Amino acid sequence: MRVLHRWTVGRQIGDPHLNEDAIACSDLRGIHAVSDGASESFASRRWARILVSRYVRQPVIDEAWLARAITSYHAAFDRAAMSWSAQAAFDRGSFATLLGLRFDPAGVSIVGIGDSLAVLDDGTEISATFPYSEPEQFRANPLLLSTIHDRNGEILDDDFTTRWQLDGASKLFCMTDAIGAWLLSDRPERMERLRTLRTRADFVALVEDARGDGTMRRDDTTLLVIG
């Protein structure tokens, strides 16, 4: 399995540096990750990038892994030099999703923390989705990885993983929440539209059309296709 497409569109196309989604991939190791930084939190773009890069290097999320990720995040900031308002935002923490995939000869193991979505497609229909299966699930506040260690207790104590068997026709579509909710709201028609995408221009056009007609929320939007 290898990366076929990896595209992202910021909520404002003219300001790509504000895009808080992140992707990291290693075809050689068969490890891939997508993260969506929470817009309301401090420097979530950096946190999302740390999570995906560290997952691709070491795809095991435990207490030690999180501690190293948090230390890397904090190393970029001098709290004492911040304004009081920036300090308050920094102290509230940064939050992000993490969708991680590890391929092996028998299939793929997936970790899904938050509302980024993995979709297993056989070329004709959707075989499975994870961690959500219904569009209504995107309306709830998701559990996210935090730069405040104590807020990750529920994630460390629970199991946010699944495993899928694959065949020669299988493709994985990994996406952040805006396009995930859009897809699950009308699976057959919209999955067919994703299958036909060939270029980033095609992807941008789809996202802008869906934003324009109100079927997709205006947010950073990312799609990773592996097959």
DSSP 114: S
**Residues 6 or more apart in contact with residue 63 via CB below 8 angstroms:** 156
What pLDDT does residue 8 have?
97
Tell me, rounded to whole angstroms, the distance of Cα 226 from its chain centroid. Answer: 14
pLDDT-based confidence at 113, cuts 50/70/90? very high
Tokens of 35: 């993260």
**Residues 6 or more apart in contact with residue 191 via CB below 8 angstroms:** 119, 121, 125, 126, 183
Spatial separation of the C-alpha atoms in residues 192 and 183, rounded to whole Å: 10
What share of the chain has pLDDT > 90, as a percent?
A: 82
Spatial separation of the C-alpha atoms in residues 56 and 77, rounded to whole Å: 24
Q: How many CB atoms lie within 10 A of CB 214?
A: 8
Q: 178-208: buried (b, 16+ CB within 10 Å) or exposed (e) per residue?
A: bbbbbbbeeeeebbeebeebeeeeebeebbe
pLDDT-based confidence at 80, cuts 50/70/90? confident
Does residue 78 register a pLDDT over 90? no
Is pLDDT larger for residue 3 or for residue 81? Answer: 3
Does residue 14 register a pLDDT over 80? no
| Residue 93, helix vs strand vs coil | coil
148-165 mean pLDDT: 92
210-220 mean pLDDT: 96
pLDDT-based confidence at 77, cuts 50/70/90? confident
DSSP 216-227: S-SS-EEEEEE-
What pLDDT does residue 26 have?
97
179-202 mean pLDDT: 97
Does residue 157 register a pLDDT over 90? no
14-42 mean pLDDT: 92
pLDDT-based confidence at 91, cuts 50/70/90? confident
Does residue 181 register a pLDDT over 90? yes
DSSP 62: S
**Residues 6 or more apart in contact with residue 158 via CB below 8 angstroms:** none
Does residue 98 register a pLDDT over 80? yes
What pLDDT does residue 134 have?
96
| Residue 107, helix vs strand vs coil | strand
pLDDT-based confidence at 138, cuts 50/70/90? very high
